[in-house]
Amino acid sequence: MLIWLASYPRSGNTFFRILLNRLYGFNTTTGYDDNDPVAQMIGPQFVGYEPRQYALENLVNRPEISFVKTHRQPHRVSCGDQPAIYLVRDGRDAIVSFAHFRAQAQLKQGKPVDIYQLMKALILEESLGTGNWGQNVLHWLKRSAPPLVIRYEQLILDPQREVARALTYFNLDISGKTPSSAPSFPELQTINPAFFRRGVVGSYQDEMPQALQKCFWEQAHHAEAMALLNYT
């Protein structure tokens, strides 16, 4: 059985994968043909990453549960009606976090960084794979088989409850398992302080200039997705 772990980047996907492994012993893989650079950056064992041994289409009918991470839009992974968990975060916070993530990559390459321009590019970006934040949200939430939505804001507030809710939603028996404790944010920062940068709700308020907030709301996909999710 294949269950997608889908999200726009920096919306809690990695944290959810860590929780699946830490709390209930589930490993995860990715839908990409790579060795999961994020897992390698943080630590494959800590994330609970395992290399994918089968083609995606072959995972669907296997009896074992395969949690597969993707940031792509559903029509870009040909997921059909396969079950999915969608991690979502206020688009402004996700874009701020993603811009800083890209900035770190540029700094490592010795390139100059303009965080304002990085945020603006993400607000306007319409890449074929991931799409911008609004496109990603709308395509996953309006799929013919809607995913189970996990909000970042609730995930960091009560990690164990949200993970247990997801597993029971898919009828996965966790009654005999005694979960260990979820890692705290300070613990995550000791693992990789650059990746786990702030982890707060509403970071856009002091990091995204008003002009960019206005630009965000003027983008039709973002405005529609924010309304659909009841973000103000």
The Cα 28–Cα 44 span in angstroms is 10
Residue with tokens 């669907």: 60
pTM value is 0.95
- Residue 45 tokens, joined: 């064992």
pLDDT in tens, 101-130: 999 999 988 888 999 999 999 999 888 899
Classified as helix, coil or strand, 173 is coil
CATH of domain 2-228: 3.40.50.300
Confidence of residue 179 (pLDDT cuts 50, 70, 90): confident
The Cα 186–Cα 184 span in angstroms is 5
pLDDT in tens, 70-103: 999 999 987 778 999 999 999 999 999 999 999 9
pLDDT in tens, 54-72: 888 888 888 889 999 999 9
Q: What is the CA 151 to chain-centroid distance, rounded? A: 10
| Residues linked to residue 2 through DSSP beta bridges, in sequence order | 66
**Residue among 33, 20, 47, 39 at smallest CA distance from 165:** 20
Q: E strands within the chain? A: 2-7, 28-30, 66-70, 84-88, 148-151
Helix (H) or strand (E) holding 63: none
